[in-house]
Copies of this chain bind each other. A is one copy, B any other.
Amino acid sequence: MQFKEKQSIYQQIAEYMYEQVLGGKWPDDTRIPSIRDMAVQMEVNPNTITRTYTLLQDQGIIYNQRGIGYFTTAHASEVARVQKKQEFIQTFLPEVFKTMASLNMPVEELEALYRDYMTQNKGRLYENK
C-alpha cells in the first residue's frame, strides 16, 4: 500500500479498514487479519497496526478476543456508516460550502464535477487492493 504524506500512516490504514467495513469486504462479526499479518500486508511495523486497531476498537468498530484475534463488532458497518456520515456532515461539508461561497462557485458546478468524477471512477470504487 502506498501512503500519502499529509496523513499519518496509522490513520490511513484506519481509512482503509473503514472502506473494508463499509464496502462489505469485512462483514459484521467476522475475524480480521491479525496484527502481524496486517503488518506484513501493509508493509509496516506491527506497532503501527496496533495503533490503528486500538483506535478502531475505541470507536467500537472492532473488538478483541484474548489470544484469538480481532473481530468486527456485531454492528460494525452500521456504526461506521453513522460515524463517518456525521463527521462528514458536521466537520467536512461546512468547509466545502464555505470554500464554495468564498469562490462564488454555484452548486451546479459542484454537481457537474460530481458527475465527472463518478463516470471516471465507475466500477473502480472498492476494487482496490
Q: Which residues of A contact B (CB under 8 A)?
A: 8-9, 18-19, 22-23, 58, 66, 81, 84-85, 88-89, 92-103, 105, 107, 110-111, 113-115, 117-118, 121, 125-126
Contacts and interface: CB of A to CB of B under 8 A. Distances in A.
Contacts of A58: 58
Contact of A22 (B89, B102, B107): B102
Copies of this chain, how many? 4
Contacts of A100: 88, 114
A81 to B, nearest CB: 6
B66 A9 contact: yes
Contacts of A85: 103, 105
Contact of A88 (B9, B81, B99): B99
